[in-house]
């Protein structure tokens, strides 16, 4: 991974049992449309730039740690810098290298080679432009005297300690914009000095340029971010690690480097981005092969028979999450559906969705519609829910879980739902097995938890542990420490290979492993109403689960956090269960790792899609295919000899007829 731009710290990685738990949670939701899956969300301004430090090495580590930790939705602020003609991540323009400019107004320019590259589109970016206050002082700026280092470090420290206040969760009507969900950089109100290098030694590929309250390097561009994402997609391009990620883009004009503390000015029309510099051009440059676009969505919706329904039976999307109709051509279509994660990841290999969040008035002249074939419009996939979260982390209003609503209604529609989390301070070394209450509770309400500030007042490159605790808190399925796996791989040992839901405190509704041969009641889901659950009237072992559910219910497992809450509600409510059968004891859900330890599948006889089976004595699974194979071989041999005899007779009857190639053999391809 040393050559990869994606380079997370070891402390940011999911380890056992968390990686197995999150993979199993992903897999039970593979048939759910993307817009109904809850995932952790974060602002890069809060997680990476909370101290106004826009340095490429630190940012590379920050975004790598966030990706590794399991964050899936990101708010990205991009700034058009017309002087350099780039989409920058720095809120202020960096001065261009103009040799004719007045030195009193713009520093001199020196060009030096840089080993870091960001753009994989073939554009050569092997040079970084650096700005000393004067060419004659270049050596002193890059290599300060030893006795200057301490004072310079103190100056840098004073800049780095500035923080931005978190935005409280709103209780009134709200619109999802960058102004009300992100921590904005804090400009200084005094007159800004001319840009200069911070005078302390670093290992940066390009020295920091101080522009007002911002410290930026020239490599901090959207190209650099997409380069990191490209390597992340490549490094996680496996069935066990793949995920769909979402980037919401907030478009700004960069503030002038002469007056960085004042609002940005509207760029002249001839300095706005043109062809080759559109945001869609930048995003597609590195990520076109994994990008799910508005054009893709429309094409899929126009013919479900040839898209979402053209999959294996086990991968068909679950009913009840979108509406369909039949067009004049007889094709099933949808106006509001989205593909499932299984279809997106494993059939189409889509890994990224990009959407606009908002556009500053200063950039109103930018031709946003030119990007709409690639980047979703601002109102397409965002829905901010107004929630109230108590000091203890409880969701006191705005929760989308309604026990009485077993179908998706306007009051329970969690499509793309996002809710704001108040600032989180859990210290630098939190216990990552204990969920953060506000994050866990909002997730259980069917709402993706979004945080717009740094966690524990540290950025993710400084310490990924608080951020890992945040993503751990979005695990709605397993109990902390689960799933436990047996070390006995024997097919006759079913201990810890099946799954039950319990009502035990402090985590009612969570799952834990259980012996498949114990007797419990089983969870039954309506085939067309995903929130409609019942529980079998009698106890049985896991293998008899299918027989325990009345029609039109089937033995199932919750696929989303809100489905899980509906099942828990039935388990805890006597009136919701069949008459005379109430019990709040553990119940089987349809999830097991019988085939391969650690690989959880949602079918009694399901096989692991990731690991080849090594057990050759699985009589229950192997016998029938073996008998069928023998029969097929015998029939094939008979057919072959019959055709040979017929061909020979035909040859004797008509030897003078021209040979046109014999016969076509139809069989199973090898």
Close Cβ partners of 400 (under 8 Å, ≥ 6 residues apart): 385, 411, 412, 413, 414, 417, 445, 446, 447, 562
CB 346 within 8 A of CB 312: no
Q: Give one DSSP letter per residue of 604-644, joined into a string.
A: TT---SSS----TT-HHHHHHHHHHHHHHHHHHHHHHHHHH
Query: 251: which strand partners?
Result: 78, 359
My answer on whether omega of the bond before 562 falls inside 30° of 0, hence cis, is no
Paired sense of beta strands 352-359 and 291-292, if any: parallel
pTM above 0.75, yes or no: yes
Instruction: Please tell me the predicted confidence (pLDDT) of residue 153.
Output: 39
Q: What SS3 state is found at 414? A: coil
Pick from 251, 202, 255: which is nearest to 55 by CA? Answer: 202
Termini Cα distance of the chain: 38
Instruction: Please tell me the predicted confidence (pLDDT) of residue 629.
Output: 54
d(CA 137, CA 305): 69
Pick from 229, 238, 307: which is nearest to 26 by CA? Answer: 238
CB 505 within 8 A of CB 534: no
> For 652, left (φ over 0), alpha (ψ -120 to 50), or beta?
alpha
CB 441 within 8 A of CB 395: yes
CB burial of residue 259 (10 Å; 0-12, 13-18, 19+): middle
Paired sense of beta strands 599-601 and 587-596, if any: antiparallel
Close Cβ partners of 241 (under 8 Å, ≥ 6 residues apart): none
Instruction: Please tell me the predicted confidence (pLDDT) of residue 195.
Output: 52
In sign, the C-alpha dihedral spanning 495, 498, 503, 505 is positive
Angle at the Cα of 177 from the Cα atoms of 173 and 181, rounded to 5 degrees: 85
Angle at the Cα of 128 from the Cα atoms of 122 and 131, rounded to 5 degrees: 155
Residue 113 tokens, joined: 């080679």
Q: Give one DSSP letter per residue of 143-175, joined into a string.
A: S--HHHHHHHHHHHHHHHT---PPPPPPSS---
The phi, psi pair for 391, rounded to 5°, reads: -55, -25
Query: 78: which strand partners?
Result: 251
The structural domains of the chain, with segments of one domain joined by +, span: 10-472, 498-601
Residue in the structure block whose two tokens are 């073939």:
122
For the stretch 270-286, what's the b/e string if a residue is b when 16 or more beta carbons lie within 10 angstroms of its beta carbon? eebbeeeebbbbbbbbb
Instruction: Please tell me the predicted confidence (pLDDT) of residue 488.
Output: 55
CB 66 within 8 A of CB 196: no
Write down the number of H helices and E strands in the chain: 14, 26
CB 38 within 8 A of CB 560: yes
Q: Kindly list the distances between the CA atom of residue 4 and the CA atoms of 1, 61, 233, in Å, as whole numbers in the listed order.
A: 5, 11, 11
d(CA 345, CA 367): 31
Which residues in 280-371 belong to E strands, given as ranges?
Answer: 291-292, 325-326, 332-333, 352-359
Instruction: Please tell me the predicted confidence (pLDDT) of residue 584.
Output: 78
Angle at the Cα of 587 from the Cα atoms of 585 and 590, rounded to 5 degrees: 170
Residue 196 tokens, joined: 């200069």
If the chain, 670 residues long, is cut into consecutive pieces of 10 residues, what is the mean pLDDT of each piece? 86 96 98 98 98 96 99 98 97 69 40 37 35 30 32 38 35 47 49 47 68 93 98 96 97 94 94 96 96 98 96 93 94 97 96 97 96 95 90 96 91 94 95 97 98 97 98 98 72 83 96 96 96 95 96 98 97 78 85 94 92 47 44 60 48 35 27
Angle at the Cα of 163 from the Cα atoms of 144 and 169, rounded to 5 degrees: 160
Paired sense of beta strands 41-43 and 73-81, if any: parallel
CB 217 within 8 A of CB 46: no
Instruction: Please tell me the predicted confidence (pLDDT) of residue 150.
Output: 37
d(CA 585, CA 545): 16
């Amino acid at each position: 991974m040393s050559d990869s731009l994606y380079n997370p710290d070891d402390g940011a990685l999911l380890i056992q049992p968390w990686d197995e738990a999150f993979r199993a949670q992903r897999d039970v939701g593979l048939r759910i449309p993307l817009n109904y899956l809850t995932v952790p969300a974060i602002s890069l301004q809060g997680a990476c730039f909370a101290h106004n430090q826009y340095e490429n090495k630190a940012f590379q580590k920050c975004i790598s740690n966030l990706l590794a930790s399991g964050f899936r939705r990101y708010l990205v602020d991009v700034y058009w810098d017309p002087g350099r003609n780039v989409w920058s991540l720095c809120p202020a323009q960096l001065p261009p290298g103009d040799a004719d400019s007045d030195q009193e107004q713009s520093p001199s320019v020196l060009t030096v080679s840089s080993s870091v590259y960001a753009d994989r589109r073939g554009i050569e970016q092997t040079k970084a432009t650096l700005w000393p206050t004067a060419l004659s002082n270049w050596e002193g700026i890059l290599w300060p005297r030893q006795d200057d280092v301490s004072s310079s470090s103190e100056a840098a420290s004073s800049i780095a300690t500035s923080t931005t206040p978190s935005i409280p969760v709103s209780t009134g009507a709200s619109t999802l914009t960058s102004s009300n969900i992100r921590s904005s950089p804090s400009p200084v109100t005094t007159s800004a000095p001319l840009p200069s290098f911070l005078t302390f030694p670093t290992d940066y590929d390009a020295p920091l340029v101080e522009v007002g309250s911002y410290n930026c390097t020239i490599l901090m561009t959207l190209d650099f971010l997409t380069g990191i994402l490209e390597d992340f997609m490549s490094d996680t391009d496996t069935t066990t690690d793949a995920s769909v990620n979402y980037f919401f883009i907030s478009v700004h004009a960069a503030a002038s480097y002469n007056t960085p503390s004042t609002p940005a000015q509207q760029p002249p029309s001839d300095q706005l981005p043109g062809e080759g510099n559109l945001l869609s051009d930048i995003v597609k440059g590195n990520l076109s092969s994994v990008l799910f676009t508005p054009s893709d969505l429309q094409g899929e919706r126009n013919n479900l028979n040839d898209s979402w329904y053209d999959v294996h039976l086990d991968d068909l999307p679950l009913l009840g999450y979108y509406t369909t109709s039949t067009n004049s051509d007889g094709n099933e279509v949808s106006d509001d559906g989205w593909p499932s994660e299984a279809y997106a990841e494993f059939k189409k290999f889509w890994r990224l969705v990009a959407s606009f969040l908002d556009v500053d008035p200063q950039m109103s002249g930018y031709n946003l519609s030119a990007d709409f074939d690639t980047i979703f419009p601002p109102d397409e996939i965002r829905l901010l829910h107004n929630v109230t979260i108590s000091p203890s982390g409880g969701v006191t209003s705005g929760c989308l879980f309604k026990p009485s609503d077993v179908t998706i209604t306007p009051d329970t529609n969690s499509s793309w739902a996002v809710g704001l989390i108040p600032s989180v301070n859990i210290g630098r070394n939190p216990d990552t097995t204990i969920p953060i209450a506000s994050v866990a509770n909002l997730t259980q309400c069917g709402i993706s938890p979004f945080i717009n500030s740094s966690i524990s007042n540290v950025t993710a490159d400084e310490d990924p542990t608080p951020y890992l605790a945040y993503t751990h808190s979005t695990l709605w399925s397993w109990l902390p420490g689960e799933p436990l796996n047996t070390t006995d791989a024997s097919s006759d040992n079913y201990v810890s290979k099946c799954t039950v839901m319990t009502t035990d405190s402090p985590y009612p509704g969570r799952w834990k492993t259980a012996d498949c041969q114990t007797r419990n009641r089983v969870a039954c889901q309506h085939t067309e109403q995903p929130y409609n659950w019942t529980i079998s009237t009698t106890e049985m072992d896991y293998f008899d689960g299918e027989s325990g559910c009345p029609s039109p219910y089937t033995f199932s497992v919750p696929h989303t956090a809100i489905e899980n809450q509906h099942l828990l509600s039935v388990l805890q409510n006597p009136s919701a269960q069949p008459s005379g059968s109430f019990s709040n004891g553990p119940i089987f859900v349809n999830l097991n790792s019988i085939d391969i330890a650690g690989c959880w599948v949602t079918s009694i006889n399901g096989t692991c899609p990731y690991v080849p089976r090594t057990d050759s004595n699985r009589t229950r699974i192997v016998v029938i295919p073996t008998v069928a194979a023998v029969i097929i071989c015998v029939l094939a041999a008979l057919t072959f000899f019959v055709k040979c005899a017929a061909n020979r007779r035909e040859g004797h009857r008509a030897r003078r007829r021209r040979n046109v190639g014999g016969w076509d053999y139809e069989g199973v391809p090898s």
